[in-house]
Structure 1
Amino acid sequence: MTAWYLLHCKARQEARARVHVENQGYTTSLPQVKLQKVLRGKRTSCIEPLFPNYLFVQLNEKTANFNALRSTRGVNGFVRFGGVPATVPSAVMEHILAIEQQHLQETSTKQTFPAGAKVEIIEGPFSGLQAIYEIAKGEERCMVLLDMLGKQQRIEIEERSIRTSCNA
């Protein structure tokens, strides 16, 4: 019978632990999220684990070598309750695997707009207004033309805060 277990990893070594556990033939899950951080005064986007220092691993409790996994590079040991490695309920794992799959889809299908496309601003101070997409500015931001006071104003906003206009 296979079940999901939770490995406690050494600080910031989840990816290393994942590689070494997968090299032993086990299935793992390391859900990640994309965050905006300020590093050295510059805003950057980075991908970090949703559960820092933890790695989910699917094991057959009759054939798995728990001692070898506990001794794997980057791993501190299993999360235990009463001295027994704790299993993660299947309903919880289904939700976690769905989050991981959603993150993979979001990172692989970034929406880009052609120059001159009509867009709607969906968040921020200009929410609900129509604009014209001009150009991408870096990975996360873009320039749009907004009609204000009878004149087109060029503003820079995050690309995630716009969508294709329904009035296009």
Structure 2
Amino acid sequence: MSEKEAKWYVAHTYSGHEKKVKANIEKIVENRGMEDVIHEVVVPTEEKVEVKDGKKKVKQKKIFPGYVIVKMIMNDESWYVVRNTRGVTGFVGPASKPVPLTDEEVRWMGIEDKTPSIDIEVGEAVKVTSGPFENFIGEVKGINNEKQTLRVSISMFGRETPVELEFTQVEKL
């Protein structure tokens, strides 16, 4: 059952408990120091725009309700940890042997391609292209690739104001 390379596995959960299960698995991994075995836990979501009372709202909607995707090296201990996390009802696959997702399934689900690179560095000037600070120009003070955000200092009312912007909201000058 043991392999060297981490693969993506699907765990079935009670519907509506996906985020709680994700948090529980991450907490157990942290407490037991298993970061080298269980790498990542994902609840696949997509943005849906809803119009309510004439106002647009962007909501995160679960693509696969009742499932969490776990990237891990499958062994007895990692199987036990995920399988016995509160809210998990089992793995997808025959009874005791979870089946990993194929590379094609992982690409199709869009799990791993969520980290776009950005050709902007700290200290460079950027123009805000959307949002409340549209058309402002600022200097990049920090980059968070994981959250896909930039910390930008813009001049507002004669003062330098730090704002957090998404990669998609800015363009390099």
Q: What does 1:19-168 align with in structure 2 at a 5 Å threshold?
A: 19-25=23-29, 26=38, 27-37=40-50, 44-62=57-75, 64-81=77-94, 83-95=96-108, 96-98=110-112, 100-101=114-115, 111-112=129-130, 113-114=134-135
Q: Does the 8 Å CA contact 2:129/2:135 hold for their aligned counterparts?
A: no
Q: Which has the larger share of strand?
A: 1
User: Residue deviations 1:114-148, cap 9 Å, x none?
Assistant: 39xxxxxxxxxxxxxxxxxxxxxxxxxxxxxxxxx
RMSD in angstroms over aligned alpha carbons? 3.2
Larger radius of gyration: 1
What is the TM-score when the length of structure 1 is the normalising length? 0.52
Partner of 2:14: 10
Q: Does the 8 Å CA contact 1:32/1:100 hold for their aligned counterparts?
A: no
Large movers: runs of 4+ above 4 Å: 38-43
Identical pairs, percent = 20
Any idea what SS the aligned residue of 1:57 has?
strand
Structure 1 pair 11–76 and aligned structure 2 pair: CA distance change class (3 A): same
